[in-house]
């Protein structure tokens, strides 16, 4: 049974992506007791799946290493992975949270030695790589995963593979009888940092993501560029595995569109500019855009990419994509609004810069909360002791999300400090 020691002075952080991690660590390093509940088997969220950050083109795993070290060293922070908050009752300063923990089938004995992974045979789509590539039924989600503990896919439970995994483990870390748990604990304040998900590209019918192999999403392209990713860093076409010779980026794929996401997702322009630096210099790149939204200091990065000889910008909302059946090339149709010229451009690979959809479920949100038309949590006083952090509050880049999460940590601390003062 998972034990959680918590009081009304404890801060509950829901979601362990970069925002949740930040809020949790900042509060814990200010001396507060924090429980962090994360749905995935590991913390770090979508940032772990990024190859590089804009505009520095540095590696997100560098910061992840520091954050994970902070987490490992801090006794104030209790991370519960593979868990979801199903209910929160009470009021600011006195909440009771209900948390459902899915079985990992691997206990704390695990040393991440990898023996179970070698023993099992069944393979599954690797969600860490957005389904590109496979992983085993016993797996470490990624090399830097924290907690550094393997996971057994629930689909192998009851199969021979499960027993093979158990037999291979020399440290008695595999517990096939592990059951789902539901626990309850107290919290004075809640930081809600459930982040975002890439907008479902299948819903943008004219772009044919579901029909055309060489139309992919920006998050998939990011995994592809990563040398530790499914293609070993090679930018290849899904249709034939050939190296990509031209790339088109379609901006606002699902954003700024009343049929899809109303809001501007803020990051996509910069993400595409960043991704335009991934292919070799001689690969022609075309960016189809409405406005390039390079905010503040990012302008200089925009100018730098603009100066790249292989990069071309076309101001246009692409109308449709049709596959050239002979070579698998997607052909983009639309009108260049600068001069009103129609085009039908063929590219090797098309990357849809998909928008950020908030992972805030209005229908099942456990407490009364103010959510705006776009699905983000508003900073409303009626939210009581529940504070949004990062992308559950708006479409934010990492830097702004972290900044926002640090502020959310203070809001939560204000509540628990008030509790401490009255209970003092």
CB of residue 336 vs another protein: minimum separation in angstroms?
10
Nearer to another protein, 89 or 170 (CB): 170
CA 38 to each of CA 43, 112, 148, 192, 300: distance values in angstroms, whole numbers, following the listed order: 7, 20, 14, 11, 36
297 contributes a contact to another protein by CB under 8 A: yes
CB of residue 22 vs another protein: minimum separation in angstroms?
8
Binding segment for another protein (CB under 8 A), chosen from 33-41, 109-117, 151-159, 182-190, is: 109-117
The sheet with strand 94-101 has its strands ordered as 83-91, 94-101, 181-187
Distance CA 304, CA 34 (A): 42
Residue list 142-161, contact with another protein (CB under 8 A) = 143-144, 148
CB of residue 199 vs another protein: minimum separation in angstroms?
14
Cβ contact 226:220 at 8 Å: no
CB of residue 31 vs another protein: minimum separation in angstroms?
6
Task: Name 230's Cβ contacts closer than 8 Å, sequence gap at least 6.
Answer: 126, 129, 132, 133, 223, 224
58 contributes a contact to another protein by CB under 8 A: yes
Residues 380-409, one symbol each (x = binds another protein by CB under 8 A, - = not), give x-------------xxx-xxx-xxxxxxxx
By CB under 8 A, name the one of 337, 342, 346, 423 that touches another protein: 337
Cβ contact 33:74 at 8 Å: no
Residue list 251-280, contact with another protein (CB under 8 A) = 256, 262-264, 266
Distance CA 26, CA 419 (A): 19
59 contributes a contact to another protein by CB under 8 A: yes
Nearer to another protein, 167 or 299 (CB): 299
87 contributes a contact to another protein by CB under 8 A: no
DSSP state of 110: -
373 contributes a contact to another protein by CB under 8 A: yes
Q: What does residue 23 show for φ and ψ, rounded to 5 degrees?
A: -60, -45
Cβ contact 187:8 at 8 Å: yes
Residue list 174-203, contact with another protein (CB under 8 A) = none
379 contributes a contact to another protein by CB under 8 A: yes
Task: Name 356's Cβ contacts closer than 8 Å, sequence gap at least 6.
Answer: 196, 197, 198, 199, 255, 261, 265, 266, 267, 268, 391, 395
Binding segment for another protein (CB under 8 A), chosen from 8-16, 207-215, 280-288, 338-346, is: 338-346
60 contributes a contact to another protein by CB under 8 A: yes
Residue list 20-39, contact with another protein (CB under 8 A) = 26, 29-31
Distance CA 79, CA 68 (A): 11
By CB under 8 A, name the one of 2, 5, 65, 308 that touches another protein: 65
234 contributes a contact to another protein by CB under 8 A: no
To which residue do tokens 């010779």 refer? 245
Cα atoms in the 13 Å half-sphere on the side-chain side of 274: 24
Residue list 124-143, contact with another protein (CB under 8 A) = 140, 143
By CB under 8 A, name the one of 179, 326, 340, 364 that touches another protein: 340
Q: What does residue 183 show for φ and ψ, rounded to 5 degrees?
A: -125, 160
């Amino acid at each position: 049974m998972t034990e959680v020691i918590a009081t009304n002075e404890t801060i509950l952080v829901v979601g362990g992506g970069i925002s949740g991690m930040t809020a949790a660590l900042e509060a814990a390093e200010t001396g507060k007791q924090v429980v962090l509940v994360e749905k995935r088997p590991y913390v770090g969220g979508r940032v772990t799946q990024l190859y590089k950050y804009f505009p520095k083109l540095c590696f997100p795993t560098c910061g992840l290493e520091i954050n994970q070290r902070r987490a490992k060293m801090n006794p104030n922070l209790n991370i519960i992975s593979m868990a979801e908050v199903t209910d929160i009752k009470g009021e600011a300063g006195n909440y009771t949270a209900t948390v459902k923990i899915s079985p990992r089938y691997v206990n704390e004995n695990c040393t991440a030695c990898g023996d179970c992974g070698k023993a099992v045979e069944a393979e599954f789509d690797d969600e860490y790589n957005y389904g590109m590539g496979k992983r085993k039924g016993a797996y470490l989600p990624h090399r830097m995963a924290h907690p550094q503990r393997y996971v057994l896919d629930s689909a192998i439970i009851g199969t021979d593979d499960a027993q093979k995994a158990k037999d291979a483990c020399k440290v008695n870390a595999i517990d096939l009888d592990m059951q789902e748990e539901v626990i309850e604990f107290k919290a004075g304040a809640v930081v809600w940092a459930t982040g975002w998900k890439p907008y479902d590209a299948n819903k943008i019918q004219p772009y044919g993501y579901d029909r055309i192999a060489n139309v992919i999403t920006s998050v998939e392209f990011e995994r592809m560029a990563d040398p530790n990713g499914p293609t070993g860093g090679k930018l290849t076409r899904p249709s034939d595995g050939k190296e990509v010779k031209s790339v088109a980026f379609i901006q606002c794929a699902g954003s700024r569109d009343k049929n899809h996401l109303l809001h501007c997702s803020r990051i996509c322009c910069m993400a595409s500019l960043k991704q335009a630096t991934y292919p070799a210099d001689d690969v022609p790149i075309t960016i189809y855009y409405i406005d390039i939204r390079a905010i503040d200091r990012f302008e200089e990065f925009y100018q730098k990419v603009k100066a790249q000889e292989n990069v071309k910008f076309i101001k246009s909302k692409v109308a449709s994509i049709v596959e050239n059946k002979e070579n698998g090339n997607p052909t983009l149709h639309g009108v260049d609004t600068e001069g009103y010229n129609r085009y039908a451009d063929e590219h090797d690979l098309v990357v849809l810069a998909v928008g950020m959809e908030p992972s805030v479920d209005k229908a099942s949100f456990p407490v009364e909360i103010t959510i705006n038309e776009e699905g983000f949590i508003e900073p409303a006083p009626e939210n009581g002791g529940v504070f949004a952090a990062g992308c559950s509050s708006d479409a934010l880049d990492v830097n702004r999300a972290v900044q926002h999460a640090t502020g959310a940590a203070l809001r939560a601390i204000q509540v628990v400090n008030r509790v401490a003062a009255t209970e003092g």
